[in-house]
Amino acid sequence: MPELRVGEWAWSVAVGSNLLDALNLAGIAVPYSCRAGSCHACLVRCVQGEPQDNRPEALTFAQRERGWRLACQCQVREDLQVEVFDPRRDGLAATVAELAWLSPTVLRLRLRPERPLRYSAGQHLVLWTEQGVARPYSLASLPEEDRYLEFHLDCRQPGAFSDAARRFQVGAPIRLGELRGGALHYDPDWHARPLWLLAAGTGLAPLWGVLREALRQGHAGPIRLVHLAQDDSEHYLASGLSELSAQFPNLSVEYVSAAELPDFLAKLRLVSRQTLALLCGAPASVEALAKRLYLAGLPRNQLLADVFVAHA
């Protein structure tokens, strides 16, 4: 049986054991969210030995060269020594700059990092509380326009991070983990093409950034933004979107509740085969929207989707 070592601790594990499970079962607290290689909360660094990595493409070449691996995607096949991601050592310090409830369940969190962070609309960060709770969140801010990093936290359900966030206060410390790009972004080559932004819940956060980036770059084609929410009280950016739609004639905004979704999907029609669609939200909502767009004739390579997966 291979030996797994973290610092001074060493123990034997069965061949083929999932690295994330082996660490957590031994009391080595490694955070995780999606277990699909998307959130990057479970980063560990291999110091000696090499696990079987089932998703090597999930990390950059530079990250892999430094020994970083996603524990949820690795199996232990030989003796292995790892270091867990330490937000104090490996992360970037930041402080809570602003807190505001945008709806009964959505908390806007604005952070000020200790040094500027280079990022693009559509990317996301792993946030770490002082107690070591980690969760990936999409950036809703733009580096060219905003003096802070903005995140929209869905606090509808209990959760380790959202529970901690309810107790945040301005000035409180927080650590920033891995920055990575999701599927969502704005490409200047899309300048004249119809652009559809379809968001469910706080899936609106990255699309709020993508929308403003498109408008900042002078997108000339029509832009259609649709926000799906449980009810009217949860269309939490309605005011900001109304201001933008009044300012930019090529932008149209629609609000759809959960009860209205079946009728909305039934009536969804593609106006142009050149349309690009960006989807974000919970798996069920994204799947329903994507399926309807495919049936309407949208080519698969013209749909980009980012799914928010709940903690396993």
pLDDT in tens, 229-276: 999 999 999 999 999 999 999 999 999 999 999 999 999 999 899 999
Alpha helices in 152-300 (DSSP H): 160-165, 204-216, 238-247, 261-267, 283-295
Residue 144's pLDDT is 83
pLDDT at 36 exceeding the cut of 90: no
Percent of the chain surpassing pLDDT 70: 98
pLDDT at 311 exceeding the cut of 60: no
Percent of the chain surpassing pLDDT 90: 78
In this structure, whether the domain defined by 3-85 belongs to CATH 3.10.20.30 is answered with yes
> What's the N-to-C CA distance of the chain in angstroms?
28
The C-alpha atoms of residue 7 and residue 84 are separated, in whole angstroms, by 10
Sign of CA dihedral 164, 168, 173, 174: positive
pLDDT at 312 exceeding the cut of 50: no
Contact 102, 108 (CB under 8 A): yes
Residue 124's pLDDT is 87
DSSP β-bridge partners for residue 52: 75
DSSP β-bridge partners for residue 112: 95
Q: State the virtual CA torsion across 157, 172, 132, 59 in degrees, nearest 10.
A: 90
pLDDT band at 29 (very low <50, low <70, confident <90, very high): confident
pLDDT at 39 exceeding the cut of 80: no
pLDDT band at 33 (very low <50, low <70, confident <90, very high): low
The C-alpha atoms of residue 1 and residue 12 are separated, in whole angstroms, by 6
pLDDT at 38 exceeding the cut of 90: no
Residue 89's pLDDT is 87
The CATH number fitting domain 188-307, selected from 3.40.50.2300, 3.40.50.920, 3.90.1150.10, 3.40.50.80: 3.40.50.80
**What's the whole-number mean pLDDT along residues 66-86?**
94
Q: How far is CA 136 from the centre of its chain?
A: 6
Residue 150's pLDDT is 98
pLDDT at 73 exceeding the cut of 70: yes
**What's the whole-number mean pLDDT along residues 148-153?**
97
CATH superfamily of 88-181: Translation factors (2.40.30.10)
Determine which of 28-37, 62-71, 84-93, 231-240 has the lowest per-residue pLDDT on average: 28-37
Nearest-5° Cα angle at 266, 262 to 267: 120
Residue 309's pLDDT is 66
Identity at 273, one-letter amino acid code: R
Residue 293's pLDDT is 96
**What's the whole-number mean pLDDT along residues 145-162?**
92
Residue 60's pLDDT is 86
pLDDT at 52 exceeding the cut of 70: yes
Residue carrying the six token digits 């000339």? 220
**What's the whole-number mean pLDDT along residues 36-59?**
88
pLDDT band at 203 (very low <50, low <70, confident <90, very high): very high
pTM of the model: 0.86
Query: What residue spans define the domains of the chain?
Result: 3-85, 88-181, 188-307
Structure tokens at 160: 């380790």
Determine which of 8-22, 92-106, 175-189, 286-300 has the lowest per-residue pLDDT on average: 175-189
